[in-house]
A and B are shown apart, each in its own frame.
Chain A
Amino acid sequence: MGNIFKNLFNKKKTEIFFERDMTPDKSKKLYKDVDENIKVFKEYLSDCDDLITREFLVGNPQTPKHRMVIFGIDGLIDKQLVQEEIMKSLMLYARQLPLEHSVGDRFFQLIKEGLLTVVEVKESDNFGEMLLAVLSGDTALFIDKMDRGLILNTRGWERRGVQEPSSEAMVRGPRDGFTETYRVNVALVRRRIKDPNLKVQTIRLGRHTRTDVGVLYIKGIANPSIVEEVLKRLNTIDIDGVLESGYIEQLIVDNWLSLFPQFRRTERPDVVAACLLEGNVVIMCDNTPFALIVPITFYSLFQSAEDYYELWYIASLLRLLRFVAAVLAISAPAFYVAMISYHPGMLPTALALSIAATREGVPFSSTVEALIMMLALEVLREAGVRLPGPIGQTIGIVGGLVVGEAAVRAGIVSPIMVIIIAINAISSFAVPNYSLAISFRLLAFVFLFLASIAGLYGILLGYLGLIAHLVTLKSFGVNYLSPIVWFDIKKMKDMVIRAPLHFMKERPEYTHPVDRQRQPDRGIRREGSGEENAEK
């Protein structure tokens, strides 16, 4: 028995895990002999049929030929680029140069600086770096009798173009969204913030995936201690693969037990730019269009980029509506069940009577009725998401309208329950942050349970516990429910309401920005000054 456990938790297992980390470290240096290099390189990439190897000779017919070899991965490299800028340069144009007989530093410099017409060229003297570069889509160039090689940036694979983000569509605002390519995503942000202080620090995560993960921040605005904390936490990640930013989110989250998202994720570059300007730090991950924004507060999950593009009246109204929607998404069915089964006396008499009339003949208790409807709706939602567009809509219509109507006709559920569940579902879609909305969907079940055991009191207990939880929650050390400043209107400008832009002269406090000011403190823009100028 003891042996089994010993084997189960044997240390060897972790050692195997380390051994399987095939990428050689940087201490494995290149050899002088190109054949040796080819042999070792091919050994590393043995049985990798997508490896392209091309050996060729460089030099004019009079001088001895120099042997060279390039490695690349089929599909990851831009073949056109390799042909035009590397092969052609080396094989054709090199003939016009008086290449030296001996291979030495000067020869190497000549090739690097004078022949290769690729934008990015990097020297390397070890296999680790070369191998990683080749696997990332670069081309590795080995030269005979040189113990250094060149890494040529020839990345060019099939990628999705910049499209409208599907999960955060909006009427007013830019239509470009992040793609699966890290560099393209960073470029989309850089196009919006042309500031040398916009820093991008990239690290590679995942023993096998070697995923590029970037930390973006604006130096001089973002608090250095938050940046440091983000980098520190990222560096603690040791996992075989990072396939989506969700992996990162779950591995470095403050409270992994919480239902609430402690990162704001977005696929909109304009949202990322806005958050960077507010002093947030953004984590971007290769292979996913979703960027992570930290630190966040509860209120920031109710913000939409459109709030800042539209008039402040409308934006404020919409925000208020979202908070109302959040309450409905959590507790609409629970409240109905509580009132029906515990406190019918608290309802206005006429309403109580009409509800009782519609419930006549329904064989289930209101709790069971609500549970059936909510479960059915969850199944519908799930089915609708998985199915392709047109069929998904059909499912929605068939499930929602036909079955719902039939269920009411058959007397299984009451029509008011259908209304309540519909309000609940629609409200959860009105919450702009998807992660938050799905948390609310789960909470709706919890609250239904609480309402069914203790009525209104149960719902209140749920809310008190919920607020207590939110109060104790932190996102990268920032209080989740901050700022709580009921009596300081100055600090409430961008929470429940969205104040006019010229009132928001300071960055939000919760990010602890180094530079607080976003607009000079010159009071409100003077009205009518434009007209005066026109008269002149």
Chain B
Amino acid sequence: MVKKMQKNDDIITTGQAMALVINAAIGIGLLSLPREVTSEAGPDGWLVLLLGGFFTLMGALAAAAIIRQLDGRTFVDYVCFVFGKPVGLILSILYGIYFIIVLSSVFRTFAEVMKNLALERTPREFLILSLMLVSVYLIYHGLEPTARFMEFILPLWFIPSVVILSLGLYDSDFGEFLPFLQTPLEKLLLGSLSTAMSMAGYEVLLVSAQSVSRHEKISYVMAVSIIVVLAFYALILVTVVTSLGIAETQRAIWPTLAMITRITVPGKILERLDVVVVIVWVVVVYTTVCAYYFAAALTFTNIFKAREFRSFIALLFPWIYFLAMIPQNVLEAESLAKLGGNMVIATSFAIPLLLLIGGLLKKRVKKDEA
């Protein structure tokens, strides 16, 4: 009886979907994005970011269009319906692998940053395993609690980090963005693809779309979330570049971190912001891994048409962990992240677009037949 008046456990609201996408998107890119865009385009990095944001928005809108076509089917079902069973299953597995790779690289980068930032002597194994276990605890309860968690936690880290970043603008040099428009167009376009990894995250919503309550509002959800993510990254980029300068931004592994350790709060209210940085960093990574971990488990559940996604959380656990432990050093961890970044072009742009076109064609063919 009580079930009736409360929301079904597997249905999430529009606001929760939005929080899920934002939390999934903002992750480790937070630290490396300024370096990626400036090394591609120098002072024109912000253009790269904007272009990347534009492409992401297009991909997200395509994903939203697909979600509206689902009609209660799972994403895997839909892919199989459009491309036929064998190709569909391969593509679905590709999604699953992509989620796992992203997860591993996030866990690994997280461990590296934590060792660098706060816990020099703590073993990586402990850092990764503990975070994995806490994320398993949340996603074990299903999508709805996970999404509610995202909704709850979003302002708790978003607002403080915006405040900190704004403090970074205190004494900044906007001249760093000059000279203007010196980069060739093809370089801008190529560079924009490299930002895709940082902004992607809506695939999580794509694979768990059968649980979103109002499909007609999904484009709005996607658009708002991507714009929020883009604005947040733009703030980071501007703050980092104006306070570090282009050259140093290109050189540092995690330029955002380098910038924040230099911020001095006006009025000497707080001498060091490291504590806040650690808090924001852990929370941001946690929300990302929860979203991706759930998406990975759900994708495999749907591929095997299993009833219970919980067993897949356990089954994926060792794979994610060992993949995260493979890289020997920070640079190899970076290349693992790059691998995920390359796959994102397929999973976030190419496949959704093909799927959308294929799905619409198939629909039309069916209509003609009828």
Contacts and interface: CB of A to CB of B under 8 A. Distances in A.
A489 B279 CA distance: 26
A486 B137 contact: no
B274 A476 contact: no
Given A481-B152, A486-B151, A346 B272 contact: yes
A523 interface: no
A343 interface: yes
A486 B155 contact: yes
A461 B272 contact: no
A464 B122 contact: no
Interface string A493-536: 00000000000000000001000000000000000000000000
A347 B273 CA distance: 9
Nearest to A459: B279
Contact of A343 (B15, B155, B274): B274
Interface stretch (B20-28, B127-135, B167-175, B198-206): B127-135
Nearest to B121: A342
Given A471-B145, A477-B2, A481-B152, A456 B134 contact: no
A468 B282 contact: no
Contact of B4 (A225, A347, A454, A487): A225
A442 interface: no
Contacts of A225: 1-2, 4-5
Contacts of A468: 134, 137-138, 141, 145, 149
A455 B119 contact: yes
Interface residues of A, number: 35
A512 B2 CA distance: 10
Contact of B5 (A346, A461, A486, A512): A512
Nearest to B140: A472
Interface string B154-165: 110000000000
A173 interface: no
Contacts of B114: 457
Interface in B287-331: none
Nearest to B7: A479
Interface in B262-277: 271-272, 274-275
Contacts of B75: none
Contacts of A461: 130-131, 134, 282
Contacts of B153: 467
Contacts of B180: none
A486 B154 contact: yes
A465 B3 CA distance: 26
A305 interface: no
A68 B138 CA distance: 69
A487 B6 contact: no
Contacts of A484: 148, 151-152
Contact of B149 (A345, A457, A467, A487): A467
Given A464-B282, A477-B6, A348 B134 contact: no
Given A465-B137, A479-B148, A457 B119 contact: yes
Contact of A456 (B126, B145, B275): B275
Given A457-B118, A457-B119, A478-B6, A464 B286 contact: yes
Contacts of A476: 2
B197 to A, nearest CB: 24
B2 A456 contact: no
A370 interface: no
Interface residues of B, number: 36
A228 interface: yes
A349 interface: yes
B283 interface: yes
Contacts of A343: 118, 274-275
Nearest to A476: B2
A55 B359 CA distance: 92
A456 B152 contact: no
A479 B8 CA distance: 12
A280 to B, nearest CB: 14
A456 B5 contact: no
Given A342-B119, A454-B126, A486-B151, A464 B271 contact: no
Residue of A345, A472, A479 with most partner-chain B CB within 10 A: A472
B15 to A, nearest CB: 7
B112 to A, nearest CB: 14
Given A467-B153, A484-B152, A228 B1 contact: yes
A226 interface: yes
Contacts of B141: 468, 471-472
B224 to A, nearest CB: 11
Contacts of B151: 484, 486
Nearest to B2: A477
Given A225-B4, A454-B130, A467 B278 contact: no
Contacts of A465: 134, 137
Nearest to B276: A346
Contact of B272 (A226, A348, A469, A471): A348
B271 A223 contact: no
A223 B5 contact: yes
A460 B149 contact: no
Contacts of A487: 15
Contacts of B275: 343, 346, 456
Contacts of A469: 137
Contacts of A342: 118-119
A229 interface: yes
Nearest to A335: B275
A226 B15 contact: no
A343 B286 CA distance: 21
Contacts of B4: 225
Contacts of A472: 138, 141, 145
A471 B2 CA distance: 18
B10 to A, nearest CB: 14
A478 B3 CA distance: 9
Contacts of B274: 343, 345-346
Interface string A217-257: 00000010110110000000000000000000000000000
Nearest to A295: B2
Contacts of A346: 118, 272, 274-275
A469 B153 CA distance: 13
Given A342-B118, A465-B134, A477-B2, A457 B278 contact: yes
Contacts of A486: 151, 154-155
Nearest to B3: A477
Interface string A111-128: 000000000000000000
A456 B118 contact: yes
Residue of B6, B282, B286 with most partner-chain A CB within 10 A: B6
A346 B114 CA distance: 14
Contacts of B134: 461, 464-465, 468
Nearest to A343: B118
A231 to B, nearest CB: 11
A349 B272 CA distance: 10
Nearest to B153: A467
Contact of A229 (B2, B148, B272, B282): B2
Contacts of B119: 342, 454-455, 457
A229 B2 CA distance: 7
Given A456-B118, A456-B275, A471-B152, 17 more contacts: A342-B118, A346-B118, A346-B272, A346-B275, A455-B122, A457-B114, A457-B130, A460-B278, A460-B279, A468-B141, A468-B149, A469-B137, A471-B148, A477-B3, A477-B6, A486-B154, A512-B6
10 contacts: A229-B1, A345-B274, A349-B271, A454-B119, A456-B278, A460-B283, A468-B149, A471-B148, A471-B152, A512-B6
User: Closest 8 A-B residue pairs measured CB to CB?
Assistant: A477-B2, A348-B271, A468-B138, A225-B1, A472-B141, A346-B274, A460-B282, A472-B145
Interface of A: 223, 225-226, 228-229, 342-343, 345-349, 454-457, 460-461, 464-465, 467-469, 471-472, 476-479, 481, 484-487, 512
Interface of B: 1-6, 15, 114, 118-119, 122, 126-127, 130-131, 134, 137-138, 141, 145, 148-149, 151-155, 271-272, 274-275, 278-279, 282-283, 286
